[in-house]
């Protein structure tokens, strides 16, 4: 099976049997009885009779149950499950906003929120209904058309009217689309020729990122690189096996760097058995609060094995595996089935990776970092402003590796 990090979903027909129930089996009966009592009381007394069909009530109850487990598990309603089954190419994700959209009987809704995206930063929560897009009602619209209206260039704005389950009234939120890098290695350069300080910004752990990284490292080493700043800020994750290959560029062959733990088993993942070049120079890994999943595993493994100094903010805290599991009556669920662990046995799930050197940031720093990464979408005034910004995390990395001059 090919494990993936971030919000990549892995189809599955079954899950491993649990190691043991969290409570006695006898506890199930009163709990189920309580559920049925509430269900029947609602059907008997609620005045809105067109909303009281058993299927509808139970499906929405299941939706609430899945959302109560963790931010990455969700119930897939029949409307969405049917759409996924009939259209193998259906892509419900809007990467530039960090949203995964779904369809249920009440219409378009937020099925999942990716940690590093504008939606996550704006506080949008899974389960929220999307009532309008740019002032136009979503009701009656085709799912693919609605998703298509949200696929926009970096720097453009989308206005959403949302109704959160936790809020009594809808709210309007404007989201600026972020840059979605086509390549995993977004930047690779020497930033201090005198001291040989190299810089690589890894935007994602895509399907070919290990090869991209190796080529970039070769080029920088041939240009005289003697230390490396590996920037994982804003990187929400990706392919786990590519992550392990990248760790193999810096760590000895056959080193256990990640362990996947489910209820019934553990699967250790090791670096490749062969290494073309030895890379023993100092490394600083940069993370922020939007670094998630594969980024956290990379930083955590290098930190645990004393191979790099981790600098920046506490990371997001996404270290889990989700499977899509088909259910009866045309429904499905996306369920967290395992957690990832670094070599020391810790998991970033819900807690994140704590940097060795913490750098406190303000919103202006985060805004400038995001704008710098899409400088070609800015006007001249914005580019000038961003160009004058001193990146405090890069400055600290330069001090740690080579002294203050390296960060210029």
For residues 246 and 357, membership in a common domain is answered with yes
| Predicted pLDDT of residue 407 | 42
Q: Which tokens hold the place of 2?
A: 């090919």
Domain assignment present for 50: no
- Co-location of 340 and 201 in the same domain: yes
8 Å CB contact between 99 and 113: yes
Using the 3D structure, point to which of 114, 143, 176 is the last residue of a domain: 176
Compute the distance between CA of residue 370 and CA of residue 351 in angstroms, rounded to an integer. Answer: 24
pLDDT number for residue 223: 97
Please tell me the predicted confidence (pLDDT) of residue 336.
Answer: 92
Residue 329: predicted pLDDT: 84
Q: Are residues 225 and 314 both part of a single domain? A: yes
**pLDDT computed for residue 383 by the predictor:** 92
Residue 100's DSSP bridge partners are 93, 112
Domain check: are 90 and 118 in the same one? yes
Say what the pLDDT of residue 165 is: 78
Out of 157, 176, 195, pick the residue that ends a domain: 176
98 shares its domain with 221: no
- pLDDT for 2: 40
What string of DSSP letters covers 30-58?
HHHHHHHHHHHHHHHH-S-GGG--HHHHH
Whether residues 265 and 297 fall in one domain: yes
28 in a structural domain: no
Indicate if 152 and 270 belong to the same structural domain.
Answer: no
Work out how many domains the chain is built from and give that number: 2
Q: Is 37 a member of any domain? A: no
Contact 153, 94 (CB under 8 A): no
- Tens-of-pLDDT digits for all 408 residues of the chain? 444 444 333 333 344 444 566 777 888 899 999 999 999 999 999 999 999 999 999 999 999 999 888 888 999 999 888 888 777 667 788 989 989 999 998 899 998 887 668 898 888 988 899 999 999 999 989 999 999 999 998 889 999 999 987 788 999 999 999 888 778 999 999 999 999 999 999 999 988 999 999 999 999 999 999 999 999 999 988 899 999 999 999 999 999 999 999 988 999 999 999 999 999 999 999 999 989 999 999 999 999 999 999 999 999 999 998 888 999 888 999 999 999 999 999 999 999 999 999 999 999 999 999 899 888 888 899 999 999 999 999 999 999 997 544 443
Q: Is residue 61 part of a domain?
A: yes
Residue 42 counted as domain residue: no
- DSSP calls for 65-96: HHHTT-TT-EEE-HHHHHHHHH-TT---EETT
Rounded Cα gap, residues 338 and 328, in angstroms: 23
CATH code assigned at 136: 2.30.42.10
- The rounded distance, in Å, linking the Cα atoms of 160 and 171 is 8
Are 259 and 392 in a shared domain?
yes
Q: Which tokens hold the place of 223? A: 């240009």
SS3 (DSSP) at 383: helix
Q: Is 256 domain-assigned?
A: yes
**Which pLDDT belongs to residue 114?**
79
**pLDDT score recorded for residue 15:** 43
DSSP state for residue 264 in the 8-state scheme:
S
Among candidate residues 111, 94, 114, 112, the one with its CA nearest the CA of residue 103: 111
Query: 3-class secondary structure for the chain?
Result: CCCECCCCCEECCCCCCCCCCCCCHHHHHHHHHHHHHHHHHHHHHCCCHHHCCHHHHHHHHHHHHHHCCCCCCEEECHHHHHHHHHCCCCCCEECCCCEEEEEECCEEEEEEECCCCHHHHCCCCCCCEEEEECCEECCCCCHHHHHHHCCCCCCCEEEEEEECCCCCCCEEEEEECCCCCCCCEEEEEEEECCCCEEEEEECCECCCHHHHHHHHHHHHHHCCCCEEEEECCCCCCEEHHHHHHHHHCCCCCCCEEEEEEECCCEEEEECCCCCCCCCCCCEEEEECCCCCCHHHHHHHHHHHCCCCEEEECCCCCCCEEEEEEECCCCCEEEEEEEEEECCCCCCCCCCCCCCCEECCCCHHHHHHHHHHCCHHHCCHHHHHHHHCCCCHHHHHHHHHHCCHHHHC
Residue 86 is predicted with a pLDDT of: 75
- Would you say residue 405 lies in a domain? no
pLDDT at site 89: 66
Tell me, yes or no, whether 239 and 130 share the same domain. Answer: no
Are residues 166 and 212 both part of a single domain?
Answer: no
Claim to verify: residue 253 and residue 347 sit in the same structural domain? yes
CATH number at residue 338: 3.90.226.10
Q: Which domain holds residue 70?
A: 10-21+55-176
Domain boundary among 176, 193, 228: 176
Q: Are 303 and 341 a contacting pair, CB within 8 Å?
A: no
**Statement to judge: residues 189 and 102 lie in one domain:** no
147 lies in some domain = yes
Q: Contact 202/185 with Cβ under 8 angstroms?
A: yes
Q: Which two tokens stand for residue 233?
A: 């800020």
For the full predicted model, state whether its pTM sits above 0.85. Answer: no
């Amino acid at each position: 099976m090919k494990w993936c990090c971030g919000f990549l979903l892995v189809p599955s027909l079954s899950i491993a049997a649990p190691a043991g129930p969290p409570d006695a089996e006898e506890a199930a009966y009163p709990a189920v009885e309580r559920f049925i009592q509430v269900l029947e009381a609602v059907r008997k007394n609620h005045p809105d009779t067109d909303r009281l069909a058993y299927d509808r009530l139970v499906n929405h109850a299941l939706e609430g149950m899945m959302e109560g487990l963790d931010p990455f598990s969700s119930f897939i309603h029949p409307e969405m499950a049917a759409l996924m089954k009939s259209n193998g190419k259906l892509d419900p994700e809007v990467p530039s906003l960090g949203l995964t959209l779904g369809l249920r009987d009440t219409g378009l809704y937020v099925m999942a929120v990716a940690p590093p995206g504008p939606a996550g930063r704006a506080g949008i929560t899974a389960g929220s209904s999307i009532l309008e897009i740019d002032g136009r009602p979503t009701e009656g619209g085709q799912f693919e058309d609605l998703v298509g209206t949200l696929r926009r260039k970096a720097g453009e704005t989308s206005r959403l009217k949302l109704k959160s389950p936790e809020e009594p009234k809808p709210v309007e939120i404007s989201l600026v689309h972020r840059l979605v890098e086509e390549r995993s290695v977004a930047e690779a350069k020497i930033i201090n020729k005198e001291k040989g300080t190299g810089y690589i910004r890894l935007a994602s752990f895509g399907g070919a990122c290990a090869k991209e990284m190796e080529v970039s490292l070769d080029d920088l080493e041939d240009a005289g690189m003697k230390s490396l700043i590996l920037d994982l800020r804003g990187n929400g994750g990706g392919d786990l096996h590519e992550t392990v290959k990248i760790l193999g560029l810096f760590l000895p062959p056959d080193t256990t760097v990640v362990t996947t733990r489910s209820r019934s088993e553990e699967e250790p993942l090791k670096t490749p058995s062969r290494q073309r070049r030895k890379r023993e120079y100092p490394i600083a890994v940069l993370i922020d609060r939007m670094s998630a999943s594969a980024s956290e595993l990379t930083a955590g493994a290098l930190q645990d094995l004393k191979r790099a100094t981790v600098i920046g903010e506490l990371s997001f805290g996404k270290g889990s595996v989700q499977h899509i599991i088909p259910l009866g009556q045309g429904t499905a669920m996306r369920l967290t089935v395992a957690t990832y662990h670094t070599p020391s046995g810790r998991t970033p799930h819900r807690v994140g990776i704590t940097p060795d050197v913490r750098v406190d940031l303000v919103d202006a720093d985060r805004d400038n970092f995001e704008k710098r990464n899409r400088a070609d979408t800015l006007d001249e005034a914005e580019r000038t402003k961003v160009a004058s910004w001193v990146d405090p995390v890069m400055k600290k990395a330069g001090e740690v590796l080579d002294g203050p001059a390296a960060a210029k």
